Chain A
Amino acid sequence: MSILLAVSAAFLGLVVLVVKALIVDEARGRVQRRVAASLEATIASLPIEIQEEWAEEWRGELAAAISMPWTAFAYVRNVRESAEQLVVAKALELVLTETARASARAEGWSRQSIESEQRRSRDLRTGRLRARNWALTYLIKHRDSLLVLACVVMIVAAGWTMLTFPSYVLGTVAMLVLLGGIAALWSRAYD
């Protein structure tokens, strides 16, 4: 009987290990594919000249960072911003020099397309800044109400945790942790 139990436990352990490994590999693969697809989308949205100049380098550097998901995500996000700056720099360069103007026309750039690219990039940055400013202003303006709301939510969560936890000791510890969180939040908000 004990041998049967030991064999079953070993088999179950093995199954758990295999399933866990599969899940981890699957998740990692999905993240990597998503990050790579995001970089490819960024590259595809760029003028052909900038693609030729930078795409291979970005792909290579992403390949070096792909095993670190957070770094890879940050890399792709920052490359997108860098690409916008490169496009604007290229557009400016084309606008500013006479000889470049001729080559710009030869490459299919027109003054309108350059200006619209500059406008698009500026609007994008202005839009982001405006959204960030709005969020900050909202937070500052409604700081008191938001803090009260956060406290109410945390107290309800603390009460619920205390009542539903299997052990009252654990529930009390959880409640104390939550109350500590409220105190920390409060002290930071009014620092």
Chain B
Amino acid sequence: MDDIGAVRMTTQMLAVLSVMVAEPTGEWYGLELTQRAGLRPGTIYPILDRLLKAGWLDRRWEEINPVVEGRPQRRLYRLTGAGAPAARRALDEHLASLRRAGSRPPVAPRPRPGVA
């Protein structure tokens, strides 16, 4: 079993994980993940940093010749063996908490003063 750390979940992190969990063996570069997760460009790096440090992700440089391809190398991220189930669990827990919140009876509105 790989060593994996806990990660504090945020909405943005859940958005990133949901993209990656949809294709657990896939590899993505930062801008692509940002666009798919619906984040603002350039905001994904602290999220990736936390996931990398916790062992949920690993990364590698794309093996291309930048001159031939006409673009710089991309750094590709993917879920680790332990990261994929952990991400799925985190998303399931989040969905379950949303369902619980949705099934609670709505709070009755307070009577307005002066209204019988």
Task: Indicate if the CB atoms of B41 and A75 lie closer than 8 Å.
Answer: yes
* A85: nearest chain-B partner, CB-CB: B46
**What residues on A are CB-neighbors of B45 within 8 Å?**
54, 58, 79, 82-83, 85-86
Task: Indicate if the CB atoms of A60 and B41 lie closer than 8 Å.
Answer: no
CB neighbors of A among B62-116 (8 A): 71-75
**What residues on A are CB-neighbors of B74 within 8 Å?**
60-61
Summed over the interface, the residue pairs from A and B with CB atoms below 8 Å come to a total of 55
Q: Residues 43-66 of chain A: 1 if any B CB is under 8 Å from the residue's CB, otherwise 0?
A: 000000000001011111101110
Q: Is B31 an interface residue (CB 8 A)?
A: yes
* B44: nearest chain-A partner, CB-CB: A82
Query: Which of A56, A63, A64, A76 interacts with B42 by CB under 8 Å?
Result: A76
Q: Is B30 an interface residue (CB 8 A)?
A: yes
- B residues touching A (Cβ–Cβ < 8 Å)? 29-31, 40-46, 49-50, 53, 71-75
Cα distance A64–B42 in the bound complex, in angstroms: 12
Task: Indicate if the CB atoms of B71 and A86 lie closer than 8 Å.
Answer: no
Task: Indicate if the CB atoms of B46 and A78 lie closer than 8 Å.
Answer: no
Task: Indicate if the CB atoms of A79 and B42 lie closer than 8 Å.
Answer: yes
Cα distance A153–B49 in the bound complex, in angstroms: 50
**What residues on B are CB-neighbors of A61 within 8 Å?**
29-31, 42, 74
Secondary structure of the A contact surface, majority rule: helix
Q: Is A17 an interface residue (CB 8 A)?
A: no
Q: Is A119 an interface residue (CB 8 A)?
A: no
Query: Which of B29, B41, B72, B73 interacts with A74 by CB under 8 Å?
Result: B41
Asked, given contacts A74-B40, A74-B41, whether A82 binds B46 with beta carbons under 8 Å apart, the answer is yes
Asked, given contacts A57-B75, A85-B46, A86-B49, whether A64 binds B31 with beta carbons under 8 Å apart, the answer is yes
Q: Residues 69-105 of chain A: 1 if any B CB is under 8 Å from the residue's CB, otherwise 0?
A: 0010011111101110110010001000000000000
* B47: nearest chain-A partner, CB-CB: A82
**What residues on B are CB-neighbors of A60 within 8 Å?**
71-75
* A72: nearest chain-B partner, CB-CB: B41
Instruction: Identify the interface centre among B29, B45, B73, B74: most chain A CB within 10 Å of its CB.
Output: B45
Instruction: Identify the interface centre among A56, A60, A74, A79: most chain B CB within 10 Å of its CB.
Output: A60
